[in-house]
Amino acid sequence: MRVLGRCHNEGLRLPKSSGRTPETVWLFDLDNTLHNASHGIFAAIDSRMALAVAEMLDVDAQIADTLRLKYWQRYGATMIGLHRHHNVSPHAFLHRSHDFDIAPLLSVETGLNQQLKRLPGRKIVLTNAPSDYASRVIRLAGMHRNFDGVWAIDHMRLQGHYRPKPSLGLMRQVLAALQVPARQVVLVEDTLRNLKAAKQLGMRTVHIFNAGTPYSAIHRGRNLYVDLRVDSIQELAQQVGQLSLVDN
């Protein structure tokens, strides 16, 4: 498994389409999509992030919380606000907030890798989490053989600015690197706003419902920009025919 899109100068090392047969490319979100981060991992990140913001900005816990929420709402990631307004090193912040033992907290569905194998096409993880953390989760869950690579927050830079999901600019960049038409790309996600952006560009969209995801519960009904709604990867493998994929 490779870490992709590391640096624009190096060129994006995404596996290219063979060009002969149309092939589906699956973009999988990581947290609350491929594993249940709400089981304990999010709490671990949250407490470390709170401490990191307070210490790196030298503010009390209450101010740190206010700033975290503000930047998360405005930029989609606390790290971007800290970098832009306080010159905090994104790498240092992400490292501090994700530096813990993942294994005891990891929760994945039974038979996950067998279910992923049933989905035809190439698979890439597209996550707003840092690449080091994503790679550790993927390896611990034994998913590395199922994925061609990881595109993480560290690589989501456009013209010097971080552009995480749901940035349309990021998604256009991913499509350009994949060199496949948007209709051959499926985004699988628990976060609805990311699916909405993918649909705007013509991708197929699969909503994995996770009760722990913010705002997921109020949208239990089918949204127009969601092609398929499932509760697990197993259910996705069972219902993949509904997506009418090119290689199915």
Q: What residue ranges bind Mg ion (CB under 5 A)?
A: 29, 31-32, 190
Q: How far is the CB of 245 from Mg ion (least distance, A)?
A: 22
Q: How far is the CB of 158 from Mg ion (least distance, A)?
A: 21
> For Mg ion, which is the closer residue by CB, 119 or 188?
188
Q: How far is the CB of 16 from Mg ion (least distance, A)?
A: 27
Q: How far is the CB of 43 from Mg ion (least distance, A)?
A: 15
| Six token digits for residue 95 | 């490292």
Check: CB of residue 118 under 8 Å from CB of residue 241.
no
- Phi/psi region, residue 131 (left: phi>0; alpha: psi -120 to 50; beta: rest), is alpha
> For Mg ion, which is the closer residue by CB, 146 or 194?
194
> For Mg ion, which is the closer residue by CB, 5 or 166?
166
Q: How far is the CB of 83 from Mg ion (least distance, A)?
A: 21
> For Mg ion, which is the closer residue by CB, 32 or 115?
32
> For Mg ion, which is the closer residue by CB, 25 or 41?
41
> For Mg ion, which is the closer residue by CB, 17 or 232?
232
Q: How far is the CB of 128 from Mg ion (least distance, A)?
A: 8
Q: How far is the CB of 34 from Mg ion (least distance, A)?
A: 9
First to last CA, the chain: 24
Give the 3-state secondary structure of the chain: CEECCCCHHHCCCCCCCCCCCCCCEEEECCECCCECHHHCHHHHHHHHHHHHHHHHHCCCHHHHHHHHHHHHHHHCCHHHHHHHHHCCCHHHHHHHHCCCCCHHHCCCCCCHHHHHHCCCCEEEEECCCCHHHHHHHHHHCCCHHHCCEEECHHHCEECCEECCCCCHHHHHHHHHHHCCCHHHEEEEECCHHHHHHHHHCCCEEEEECCCCCCCCHHHCCCCCCCCEEECCHHHHHHHHHHHCCCCC
> For Mg ion, which is the closer residue by CB, 54 or 192?
192
